[in-house]
Amino acid sequence: ICMDHILSVLRIPTERASGFIALGEMAGALDGELIEYLPTITSHLREA
């Protein structure tokens, strides 16, 4: 649920920066658990 929320925030241009910050903090804390989300995260990075 948390990851779904962060991914939805990345779709909103005015909220995108805070979404990427939260995503970075989660990635550091979860140590590789976000691998299944990499294709989606990569597409958001390309759009940014």
Contact between 9 and 16 under an 8 Å Cβ cutoff? The reply is yes
**Contacts for 44 with CB less than 8 Å, ≥ 6 apart:** 7, 10, 11, 16
Contact between 26 and 34 under an 8 Å Cβ cutoff? The reply is yes
- pTM strictly above 0.85: no
**Mind listing the pLDDT tens digit for each residue in 1-12?**
688 999 999 999
pLDDT of residue 32: 84
**Mind listing the pLDDT tens digit for each residue in 8-42?**
999 999 999 999 999 999 999 988 889 999 999 99
Ordered by start, the domain boundaries in the chain are 2-47
CA distance 43 to 22: 17
pLDDT of residue 1: 66
